[in-house]
Structure 1
Amino acid sequence: MIRGLITFMATLLLFCWPLTALAQDNPSGLFFNHSLLQGRDFSDQSLPAAEFANSNLESANFDHSQLVGSVFSKAIMKNANMRGADLTYAMLDQVDFSNADLSNSIFTEVLFFGSTFKDTKITGADFTDALLDGEQLRQLCITASGVNPKTGVSTRYSLGCR
């Protein structure tokens, strides 16, 4: 019980501190919560700490976007393109990534609990220190391959695949 409480508190500290720091650096904030953004093009944009919680982003394009500290909790991202995006410190919990392309993206210290990855492309994605469920890890390790071109970290190594 105490170990669980310590893990929970550490997770809160890990994710709340970077998001708070980023929010102070971006006082204008970008809020797309509860939005219908199917097919929207966000490619090559800098969107630090942007919020997309509970939004429909099916087939949206985030190709090579900077999304450090962004929040996508409970978003629908079926068929989305996130190739080469940087999502360091992002919250991607309970997101549906079915048929999405996450190739060469950076997911360092990201929270993924409850997200689904059915037929998701992850070649070259870096998941270093990301928090994933055991079933998610098992599923992702089946197709994990490649090396991230920016970080030089292999996808399999970043997931801890055996």
Structure 2
Amino acid sequence: MDFSGKNLTDSSFNKANLRGSNFSHTNLQGVSLFGAYLDGANFEGADMRNATLDTARFTKVNLSNAILEGAFAFNTKFEGATIDGADFTDVLLREDTQKLLCQIATGKNPVTGRDTRETLYCD
């Protein structure tokens, strides 16, 4: 599915199979992706502030320059994700997930101006 550039504020995609979908530059503020399968999806430049991402599978997704500020992602899987320039300010993550993301964190978000490593509290 191609959702690029759309306004999907407060939409619900709970437990949906969105494998390979394009959400680039999409407004996803407040969206619920609870338990969604998103393998290989593109979220480049997406605004995901205050989204519910818990138990979603973000494996091999592109989160470059995405804003996830305030999102709930405690049991979310991010294996193989690209997070260059992503903003994780105030995102609730498991400690093991936070450490995994710190290993690959680079860049600064072009909208918020925040450094990815700093938003993840990497040492």
**TM-score normalised over the length of structure 2:** 0.99
Gaps of 5+ in 1: 1-39
Q: Which of 59, 63, 74 is the matching residue for 1:113?
A: 74
Aligned residues: 123
Cα distance in 1 for residues equivalent to 2:68 and 2:60: 18
Q: Counterparts of 1:97-112 in structure 2 under 5 Å?
A: 97-112=58-73
Task: Indicate whether 1:159 and 2:120 are aligned.
Answer: yes
Kindly provide the CA deviation profile for residues 105-127 of structure 1, in whole angstroms up to 9, marking residues without a partner as x. Answer: 00000000111111100000000
Aligned residue type for 2:47: D
Q: Distance in 1 between matches of 2:80 and 2:50?
A: 24
TM-score normalized with structure 1 length: 0.75
Distance 2:58 2:51 in 1: 15
Structure 2 residues without counterparts, runs of 5 or longer: none
- Which has the higher Rg, Structure 1 or Structure 2? 1
Indicate which of 27, 33, 42 corresponds to 2:3.
Answer: 42
Supply the distance in 2 between the matched residues of 1:65 and 1:97 (Cα, whole angstroms).
Answer: 16
User: Percent identity among equivalent residues?
Assistant: 40
What is the distance in 1 between the residues matched to 2:76 and 2:89?
17
Counterpart position of 1:77:
38
Which aligned segments of 4 or more residues in structure 1 are displaced greater than 6 angstroms? Answer: none
Per residue, is there more helix in 1 or in 2?
A: 1
| 1:82-101 equivalences in 2 (<5 Å) | 82-101=43-62
Question: In 1, Cα distance between the equivalents of 2:91 and 2:71?
Answer: 5
